Amino acid sequence: MEGFVRVPTAEKLRVFAKCEHFNADTTQVNDDYMAYPGGLSYDVTKEFMPYVAFTHTWNGNMYVTGAPNSDMYQIGVQFKV
């Protein structure tokens, strides 16, 4: 599930969010992987969009998956060709 909302007072500014759910091995219990990215982007032009984002990752049972929960900050640029 994903979506974005434009800020009414600043047409080029967007708030975006997404929810991702993965279960690679359906025979394993509590090995789900969920990620929740969200952030802000700004449309400089139709082809150029810088953004800042934050992602929280939840790894079900870390004793099963071997990976702890994590947070990631990101600054990037999207180009459309």
Does 63 score more than 60 pLDDT? no
Q: For residues 19-38, b (16+ Cβ closer than 10 Å) or e, as one string?
A: eeeeeeeeeeeebbeebebe
Where are the chain's structural domains? 2-79
pLDDT in tens, 40-51: 999 999 899 999
Q: What is the pTM of this model?
A: 0.71
* pLDDT at residue 59, as a whole number: 77
Does 79 score more than 80 pLDDT? yes
pLDDT in tens, 6-56: 988 898 999 999 998 877 666 766 667 788 999 999 999 989 999 999 998
